[in-house]
Every structure is written in structure tokens, then in C-alpha cells.
């Protein structure tokens, strides 16, 4: 048991929700960082990980598929239990407690005390890149790519804005073991958010 706990601390077993979206890119990044990264599609697979990434994609489709595959309630329970979760783009929407412009019947997993606005920067042809200052991941600018990205419209008292555009719009938030970004670090080679997520996963596995 001691050996397996040591191995878990060195190389945590983490999952990427693989119902829809760019989960393969996250699996590749996490594997490159030394984690045991596995796709998660079923509740039993979720139960076997020390952290979870919810990738970008279509938040409405992800919501429907999570309910279809019986994942919605296990995901909520995992977040409530403190499992480290990192959501990018649609993943941020899934973690938000509130969606100010959600489609009819759209639900989220919740956990982040924020309200988000979907496609806040426009459609695919309004995608853009910029550099951000995000002190919680270290010195040096974060090169961020926004693709049909949401924005954090409101930050509640339990959450903290950790990344802000020059115009004041919040695009990265953190709350305990939860981390969310409007942008896609997995496509730019920006590893520091995944490193921070893995630090949380290691702490969770060794608790």
C-alpha cells in the first residue's frame, strides 16, 4: 500500500472527461507531464482518478451527454467531495454555478461560484490570441487562445479571479480544488495550468 501511495504521489492517475470535445489534447499534455492520464466516460472510471479535466467543446452537448451516460450526478458529487477539477472553455461553463445565457434546459455541474456568458467573444472567426499575466501559475506571460470562448461575467465571494484581460473581463478563476479558464492552454504548449492542476491532484491522492 505504501508503495502504491508513493507511486500515486509521483504520477497521479487523473482523468479527462471524454464525452465530447478536445479531450485527446489534454490527455497528451497530462501524459507528457508524467501523469497517468485516462479518458473518463463512466462513473466507475471517475471513481478511480485523483483529478479530472473537463475539456473544451460544446457545453450544451456535453451537458446532454453527461446526463445520457449517467455522469452528471457522479460529477456533481465528485466536485462536492473536493476532487480537483480543471475546466477549459466549455469545461469552465460546466463548472460554473450559473450561465447567464444558457440554452433552454441547460444544466451545469457547478461548484465554481461564478456566472459565465457563453460565446462571449463571438463565433469561430472572432477567435483571437493574447498574452495574460496570471501570477498564480508563475512569472512570465500566459499566451492564451480564445476559440468561441466564454467569459466570467460575475465572480462570487467564494471564487477568485486569477486571469483578467486588459479590458477587465475575467477569463481565469480558481476556487479551492477547482480551476477554470476561458482559453485553451492545451493547444499552445502552455503547461502551467496543467501543472497547477496536477499539484492539486497529488495533494488529493495523498490526503
- Catalytic site positions: 89, 184, 186
Cβ atoms of 202 and 12 within 8 Å: the answer is: yes
Amino acid at each position: 500500500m505504501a508503495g502504491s501511495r508513493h507511486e500515486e504521489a509521483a504520477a497521479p492517475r487523473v482523468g479527462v472527461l471524454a464525452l465530447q470535445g478536445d479531450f485527446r489534447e489534454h490527455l497528451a499534455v497530462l501524459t507528457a507531464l508524467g501523469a497517468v492520464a485516462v479518458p473518463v466516460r463512466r462513473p466507475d472510471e471517475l471513481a478511480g482518478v485523483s483529478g479530472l479535466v473537463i475539456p473544451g467543446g460544446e457545453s450544451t452537448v456535453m451537458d446532454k451527454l453527461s446526463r445520457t451516460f449517467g455522469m452528471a450526478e457522479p460529477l456533481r458529487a465528485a466536485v462536492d467531495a473536493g476532487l480537483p477539477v480543471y475546466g477549459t472553455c466549455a469545461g469552465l461553463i460546466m463548472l460554473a454555478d450559473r450561465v447567464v445565457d444558457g440554452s433552454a434546459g441547460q444544466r451545469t455541474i457547478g461548484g465554481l461560484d461564478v456566472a459565465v456568458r457563453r460565446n462571449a467573444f463571438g463565433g469561430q472567426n472572432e477567435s483571437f490570441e493574447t498574452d495574460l499575466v496570471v501570477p498564480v501559475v508563475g512569472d512570465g506571460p500566459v499566451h492564451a487562445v480564445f476559440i468561441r470562448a466564454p467569459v466570467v461575467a460575475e465572480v462570487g465571494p467564494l471564487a477568485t479571479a486569477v486571469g483578467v484581460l486588459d479590458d477587465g473581463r475575467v477569463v481565469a478563476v480558481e476556487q479551492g480544488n477547482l480551476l477554470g479558464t476561458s482559453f485553451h492552454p492545451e493547444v499552445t504548449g502552455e503547461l502551467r495550468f496543467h501543472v497547477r492542476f496536477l499539484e492539486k491532484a497529488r495533494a488529493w491522492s495523498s490526503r
